[in-house]
C-alpha cells in the first residue's frame, strides 16, 4: 500500500501538469487569434484573387485577340503594328500591376496588424501609438483612395473588349439561330476597322457570313471572350477589396485618433486628481502641526 500511494500522487501531478500545458497552449492560441486583423485579411485575400484574375486572364486574352486579328482581319503586319505595340505596353503594365499590388496588399495587411496590436494595448491601458503611426494610416488611406479610383477606371476600360466580343458573339448566335429569318447571311458583317483596332486600309478588315461564323468557332475567339469576362470580374473584385481596405483604414484612423484624445483626457484628469490629493495631504499636515 505504501508503494502504491506515491505512484498515485505522481500520476495525479503528471495529469495536472498536462492540463496546465494544454490550458497554456489554448490561451496562447486564443491570444494569437485575437491579434489577427480579420477584416484586413479578407480584403487581402480578395485583392490577391482579383489582381491575379485580372492580370493573368487579361494578359492571355490580349495575346489571343492579337492572334485572331492577325489571322482573320489584318494579314499585313503594318496595318496592325500600332495595335500590337499598344497590346505589348498593356502587358507590361499588367506585370507592374501584379507586382505592385502584391507588395501593397502585404503592406496594408501589416498596417492592420499594427492597428490591431495598438487597440489591444489600449484595452490593456498600455496605449503607445505615435503621431507617426497615425500619419502612416492616413497616408495609406489616401493612397488606397487613389488606387480605388484607378482600378474603377481599369474596370470600365476592361468592359470595352467584353462589349465588343459580346456583340460579335450575339451576331454569330443570331446567324446560327433557326428562328432567325436571314435571307442573306453574307450581308451580316463585323468590321473591326470602325473600332480603330486596325488601319482603314487593312485587308480584309471585316468578316461576313460563313467566315464570321468560322471565326466565332475558333479557340482564340472563344478563349479570349471568356478570359475578358473573368478579367472584368477580377477588376471588380479588386475594386471591392480596395473599398474594403479604405473603410478599414478610415475606421482604424478614427479609432486611433479618438483613443489618443481619450488617453490625453485621462492623463490630465489623473494629474489633476494627484494634485488635489497632494494639496489635501499638505492641508492635513498643516492642521496636524497646528494642533500639536
Residue 20 lies in a domain: no
To 5 degrees, how large is the angle CA 173–CA 177–CA 178?
Answer: 170
User: Does any domain span residue 274?
Assistant: no
In-domain check, residue 291: no
Q: Is the pLDDT of residue 67 over 60?
A: yes
Beta bridge partner(s), residue 74: 204
Q: What is the torsion angle, in degrees rounded to the nearest 10, for the CA atoms of residue 24, residue 25, residue 31 and residue 33?
A: -160
User: What pLDDT score was predicted for residue 152?
Assistant: 96
pLDDT of 123 strictly over 60 = no
H-helix or E-strand spanning residue 133: helix 131-176
Question: Does the residue 62 lie in any domain?
Answer: yes
In the predicted model, is pLDDT for residue 143 greater than 90? yes
The answer to whether residue 279 is domain-embedded is: no
**Phi, psi of 202, deg, nearest 5:** -65, 145
Widest CA span in the chain:
124
Residues ≥6 apart with Cβ < 8 Å to 66:
80, 83, 84, 87
Query: pTM for the whole thing?
Result: 0.76
Q: Please give the average per-residue pLDDT across 103-123, as a whole number.
A: 77
Which are the contacts of 171, defined by CB distance < 8 A and separation ≥ 6?
188, 190, 212
More confident residue, 9 or 150: 150
Q: Which residues of 68-105 are buried (b: 16+ CB within 10 A; e: fewer)?
A: bbbebbbeeeebbeebeeebeeebeebeebbeebeebb
Residue 211 located in a structural domain:
no
Helical axes 219-291 vs 131-176, angle rounded to 10°: 160
Q: What DSSP state is assigned to residue 188?
A: -
Cell of 244: 474594403
Question: Residue 225: which domain range?
Answer: 38-157+220-260
| 15 assigned to some structural domain | no
Q: How many domains does the chain have?
A: 1
Residues contacting residue 223 through CB under 8 Å, at least 6 positions apart: 60, 61, 64
Q: How many Å apart are CA 179 and CA 187, to the nearest integer?
A: 18
Q: What is the tens place of the pLDDT at every residue in 4-46?
A: 555 555 554 555 555 555 556 666 666 666 667 788 889 999 9
Check whether 90 has a pLDDT greater than 80.
yes
Q: Is residue 166 part of a domain?
A: no
Summarised one tens digit per residue, pLDDT across range 192-239 is 888 877 887 777 878 888 888 888 888 889 999 999 999 999 999 999
Amino acid at each position: 500500500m505504501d508503494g502504491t500511494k506515491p505512484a498515485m500522487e505522481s500520476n495525479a501531478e503528471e495529469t495536472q501538469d498536462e492540463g496546465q500545458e494544454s490550458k497554456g497552449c489554448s490561451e496562447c492560441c486564443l491570444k494569437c487569434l485575437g491579434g489577427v486583423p480579420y477584416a484586413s485579411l479578407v480584403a487581402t485575400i480578395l485583392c490577391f484573387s482579383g489582381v491575379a484574375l485580372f492580370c493573368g486572364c487579361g494578359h492571355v486574352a490580349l495575346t489571343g485577340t492579337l492572334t485572331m486579328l492577325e489571322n482573320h482581319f489584318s494579314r499585313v503586319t503594318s496595318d496592325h503594328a500600332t495595335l500590337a505595340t499598344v497590346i505589348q505596353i498593356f502587358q507590361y503594365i499588367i506585370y507592374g500591376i501584379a507586382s505592385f499590388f502584391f507588395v501593397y496588399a502585404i503592406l496594408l495587411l501589416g498596417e492592420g496588424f499594427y492597428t490591431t496590436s495598438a487597440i489591444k494595448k489600449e484595452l490593456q491601458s498600455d496605449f503607445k501609438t505615435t503621431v507617426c503611426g497615425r500619419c502612416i494610416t492616413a497616408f495609406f488611406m489616401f493612397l488606397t483612395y487613389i488606387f480605388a479610383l484607378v482600378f474603377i477606371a481599369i474596370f470600365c476600360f476592361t468592359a470595352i473588349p467584353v462589349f465588343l466580343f459580346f456583340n460579335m458573339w450575339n451576331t454569330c448566335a443570331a446567324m446560327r439561330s433557326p428562328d432567325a429569318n436571314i435571307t442573306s447571311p453574307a450581308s451580316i458583317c463585323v468590321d473591326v476597322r470602325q473600332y480603330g483596332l486596325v488601319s482603314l486600309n487593312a485587308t480584309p478588315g471585316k468578316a461576313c457570313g460563313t467566315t464570321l461564323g468560322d471565326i466565332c468557332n475558333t479557340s482564340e475567339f472563344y478563349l479570349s471572350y471568356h478570359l475578358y469576362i473573368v478579367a472584368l470580374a477580377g477588376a471588380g473584385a479588386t475594386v471591392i477589396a480596395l473599398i474594403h481596405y479604405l473603410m478599414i483604414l478610415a475606421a482604424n484612423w478614427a479609432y486611433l485618433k479618438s483613443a489618443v484624445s481619450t488617453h490625453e483626457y485621462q492623463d490630465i484628469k489623473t494629474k489633476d486628481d494627484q494634485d488635489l490629493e497632494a494639496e489635501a495631504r499638505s492641508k492635513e499636515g498643516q492642521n496636524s502641526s497646528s494642533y500639536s
